[in-house]
Structure 1
Amino acid sequence: MTSLSVLNSALLVLSVALVLLHVSATRAKPNKARTLFAIFCGSIAFLMCKQLSAASIGPYQFLIGIGASATCNAYWLFSRVFFRRRDAIKPQHLYVAVAIALLVAMNQIYMFLKGMAVFTPAPDALVRYILVELTLLLSSCILVLTFWEGCRGFGKDTFEGKAQRILFLSVFVFALAGSKIAKGLLADNPQALEYIISAITLLVMVSTQILLMWRYTNHLDFLTTIPLRERLQPSAATDATKATDSRGELSPLARQIRDLIIGQAQYLQENLKVSDIARELDAPEYLISKAIRTELGAANFNQYVNTLRIAHAQTLLADPDHLKTSILAIGLDSGFASVGPFTRAFKTKTGLTPSEYRQNLQAK
């Protein structure tokens, strides 16, 4: 019989999973990262329901367990969306994630049929062995790939991006190592093991929610509170920017464009085009361009994106941690394809080349 305290820990994990699922699924500004995290939390909730109901419903618990087939695979897709700026999820990635989900579901169906005495374990031991080993193999590969997503591009990321990666990797390594060590040391104490696993699960969910808020809330608020052109050149704020700031509420499409380009840092993507945003938002290109001209205070898409890129470059040029970073590297990190377009766009906006801008900052 499962003790009351273990049940309480499972109930706590279930409650937190449902709360975070609700938060992610009902956001006014949904995106792929939040959607995948919501799926992950839903899968954890199914897992906890299975654990809580095991003693009372017997083999039917495994039918609930089918819903817990999007844990490590969903989290891998989340990591790709969170850390990659372009082509984060392609069909082949979905195929792998679905394959793992199907293996987990098949294993749960197998256990249900076995529990209902549809067949005896002796003749089908090989089937069970294949299902378990394939699931473990693919899941282990996915965990390695998830870790790699946090490491990939670390050196080229911004200071804030590096901090987010460090948090992600620290929690990820702690969760993996902690669960493996706990299973080895507490094999004879399942109750203590359940506490540790519950605590690790809570840590992963809460830290991921913090990362989402950090990336898609705080970052957006910071960038949209102060008009970009005022940050670049206080005396050169145009009438269009002032009109945008005084207009108040943006249209739903303009908010989506702003949230995608700024909130998800799409402007740092090299060779970003109107068609990329139109495809992401499933909206016509001419409407995207119109919203940028009439509501976001830019003459065209390229000007809007370059303004954001230059603001990012200014932040890097002013950062003491990037004093030795080359102008080329800063331009590439800011979304420009080469140093020439970066230098020209920077001088057009600020009146200075990136090198002159850095020298002026150092002289102050």
Structure 2
Amino acid sequence: MELLSLFDSFFRFGGVISCLLASALVLRQAGDRLPAKLSAFCCFTAAAFMLATYPELGSAFGYWAVPIFVLSMFSPGAAWLFCLSTFEDDFKVRWGHFAVVGAFVTLCVTQATIYYYEFSHIPLISPLKIHAVLKDTGVFPLGISSVLLVIKFGFVGHMLWTAWQTKDDDLVEKRRKFRDTFLVVVVLVSVAVLFTENWLLGFSDELVAFVQMGQMAAVLGIVLYMIWHITGVEGDWLFGDSKLPVATEVTYGKTNRPLSAEHHDLSTLEKLAGKGTLLEAGLTINCLAGTAHMPEHRLRRLINQHLGFRNFADYLNFHRIQEAKSRLAIVDDRHVPVLTVAMDLGYGSLGPFNRAFKERAGMTPTEFRKKALADC
């Protein structure tokens, strides 16, 4: 048990220091970008979580345990937002995100308040022990714990789904590789946390301590992995390169000067775009690579490094919205429904088309058509 405690302290406090260091490095390098801000917040709350779950929390920190405990409540939500901002290039924090994280934190505060009224003192103990103490005090505390568990599973499930379902469209090779590490670590840490909090309470202290030690080691590992890339010369893959603008009609194809050997491949892509290949419904990067007769990894690199796109969907939307603008401005086609235009351009429904069009043109397709026809 003493050896486990020693290793736990090593991983735990090593993780705290690493998280704080990562927060500072991220803000220094890319503090003007949303993914970097959310990453720093995630690391900061992760450090608080590792301190809050320290078995001797109260005796070690006294009343300083209260702000640490409160900050740790944001850790699951912060990890969730960091995941979304990392793997969704067009991610923006919306009111729905605030509502979900706010509801989770409110329930955590309610749980701590119940503890205070039950025992007449501030819970200077870890969240794990609060849950263990309150689980047999009544239906209401048990209900809150159950809701918190459901939300945590929701966070984990959505993170895994987001990281996995956008993998094929991702054109940033280093970020694609990071997904595999991220998926493994999220699964390991989440299983460790959820099992420790909800299913291992009746087992031996040695088993709980071993699981917690593994949890701290996994967190330390992923943070050190981030620090390795943040301090390297190629850290922009994680948060986006502020010097690399979003591909537009002006910047398209001007990101990097292609080598002579790559002119042919880029010319092939332009020819396929001219033939309408990029307008085919359900087109994947694997299918396009086959049509272009080039390896998929080469196609990803060309679209990312030479055309300036970070994901395949954005590349398709660029060409499809350009074509949509042309069609919506044709006077003779003014009575063709917008839905028909969307379907002809490879969209499965009107919603995704409207969102992609507004993001690119700053207005809806209907508004664009009215303006274009009024200028004729």
TM-fit CA distance, 1:202: 1.3
TM-fit CA distance, 1:34: 1.6
On the 8 A contact 2:30/2:36 being kept in 1, the answer is no
On the 8 A contact 1:154/1:165 being kept in 2, the answer is yes
- 2:265 and 2:160 map into 1 onto residues whose CA distance is 30
- 2:226 and 2:142 map into 1 onto residues whose CA distance is 33
Higher relative contact order (CA 8 A, sep 6+): 2
Match of 1:260 among 199, 220, 242: 242
Aligned length: 269
- 1:315 and 1:128 map into 2 onto residues whose CA distance is 65
Deviations 1:174-221 (A, max 9, x none): 43456667887894213323321211221233344557678972549x
Deviations 1:310-357 (A, max 9, x none): 969x699489x8741559997866355337969xxxxxxxxxxxxxxx
TM-fit CA distance, 1:35: 1.1
On the 8 A contact 1:65/1:105 being kept in 2, the answer is no
Question: Is it true that 1:14 corresponds to 2:27 in the alignment?
Answer: no
Match of 2:318 among 325, 337, 342: 337
The equivalent of 2:182 in structure 1 is 168
- 1:55 and 1:107 map into 2 onto residues whose CA distance is 21
Amino acid at match of 1:101: V
Deviations 1:223-253 (A, max 9, x none): xxxxxxxxxxxxxxxxxxxxxxxxxxxxxxx
Secondary structure of 1:42's aligned partner: helix
The equivalent of 1:196 in structure 2 is 214
TM-fit CA distance, 1:122: 10
On the 8 A contact 1:18/1:45 being kept in 2, the answer is yes
Q: Which moved more, 1:96-105 or 1:71-80?
A: 96-105
Give me the CA root mean square deviation: 4.6
Question: Is it true that 1:150 corresponds to 2:163 in the alignment?
Answer: yes
Amino acid at match of 1:192: F
Secondary structure of 2:29's aligned partner: coil
- 1:17 and 1:37 map into 2 onto residues whose CA distance is 10
Q: Which moved more, 1:184-193 or 1:72-81?
A: 184-193
TM-score, reference length from structure 2? 0.57
On the 8 A contact 2:170/2:176 being kept in 1, the answer is yes
TM-fit CA distance, 1:303: 1.7
TM-fit CA distance, 1:81: 1.0
- 1:198 and 1:164 map into 2 onto residues whose CA distance is 20
- 2:33 and 2:119 map into 1 onto residues whose CA distance is 40
On the 8 A contact 1:72/1:142 being kept in 2, the answer is yes
Going from structure 1 to structure 2, the CA distance change for 1:126 and 1:165 (only over 3 Å counts) comes to same
Going from structure 1 to structure 2, the CA distance change for 1:306 and 1:104 (only over 3 Å counts) comes to farther
On the 8 A contact 1:47/1:65 being kept in 2, the answer is yes
Percent identity of equivalent pairs: 15
The equivalent of 1:275 in structure 2 is none
- 1:48 and 1:316 map into 2 onto residues whose CA distance is 53
Question: Is it true that 1:324 corresponds to 2:290 in the alignment?
Answer: yes
Secondary structure of 2:242's aligned partner: helix
Amino acid at match of 2:157: V
The equivalent of 2:107 in structure 1 is 103
Amino acid at match of 1:202: L
Match of 2:251 among 292, 300, 304: 304
- 1:7 and 1:340 map into 2 onto residues whose CA distance is 55
User: What aligned pairs does 1:195-274 form with structure 2 within 5 A after superposition?
Assistant: 195-209=213-227, 217-219=235-237, 259-260=241-242, 262=244, 266-267=246-247
Going from structure 1 to structure 2, the CA distance change for 1:59 and 1:166 (only over 3 Å counts) comes to same
TM-fit CA distance, 1:143: 0.8
